[in-house]
Structure 1
Amino acid sequence: MNSLNRVQKTFRVFEILSKAAMILSFLWAAVTAAGLLCGFAWYSGVSVAGVSRETLLVMTRSSTLNQMTGVLLSELVFALTDGALFLLSFRYFRQEQEDGTPFTRDGAEQIRYLGIWTIALPLAAVVLASAFREVFGVSGAGDWGNRFSVTLGVVLILASLIFRCGAELEECSRVC
């Protein structure tokens, strides 16, 4: 049981880290959304909290309002995607803590689901962000390689198979 205690402590740390990362991602999404709203207000000629349009253009490394909009929309998509993935991770770690073991059928299903979304969401985010950058004339593509998210997604799906096998073995040991 010593290893199960280590697993539980490790999963508890990851629960805390995923919650913190989720909060930070959603805060970043709120900041980018606020930047978009400020940009639209400045475009309409309204002053926002004494900050000039040039300040936001410098912060987003943009030269026009269109480019700034493209950059902020791209960042908003990535922040929301990251926040959603961290939310799913947090829910899994919290459920694992309640179950007391990673070897449950529900936990294996959650980790498989997380693996699928870890592959799909970043890919969708790259497509949307690229579209926004193209539509709004933002020059230079970002380095948005998806190898890491695809690899992590596959590892999570494989881990779900192992956790499901462990759950079946535990069920068999109780029944047998």
Structure 2
Amino acid sequence: MHGFFEQETQKEHVVLTMGDMTKPEPLLARIHSECLTGDGLFSLRCDCGAQLQAALHKIAQVGRGAVFYLRQEGRGIGLLNKIKAYHLQDAGADTVEANEALGFGADMRKYDLLKPMLEHFGVKQLRLMTNNPRKIQALREIGIDVVERLAHETGRNPHNQKYLDTKKGKLGHMFEGSQSESEE
């Protein structure tokens, strides 16, 4: 476990690593934004907790990799605003509409903070577990070569169907199928 402090936001971020990080081969990695409700409280409203668990499992199977755990709760709007967005979603808004109704963009997360983290480990190439094209683009903008995108679909259930449809339809997430937890 490695800790990093982001001066601009005063937030602490964590990187969980396994295996030899100095090898020149592309590193299996997951960039995961904090989700207290999904990661820690096992909410079925999202797929975050399932994605985190699946990434840790895949890294353990391979024996080398990293999870970059970024403190960007609620797509960057923070926990209390995320709770407000949940109330708007309960009234019928999707996740993008809820964020926008609160005066935020659909996704406020930033990924430039990954540059010093990756430099610390000497990582220049990733095999990235993600469905989010913004993460791939952001990594390329900071000089990281994403040599492979690994689809990372897990955790679909009846409670998060609209959420996942919104991620695909409004945020451009790349879903290849409709994988449920039992299909993992």
- Provide the TM-score with structure 1 as the length reference: 0.30
Q: Which has the larger radius of gyration?
A: 1
Q: Larger % of helix: which?
A: 1
- Provide the TM-score with structure 2 as the length reference: 0.29
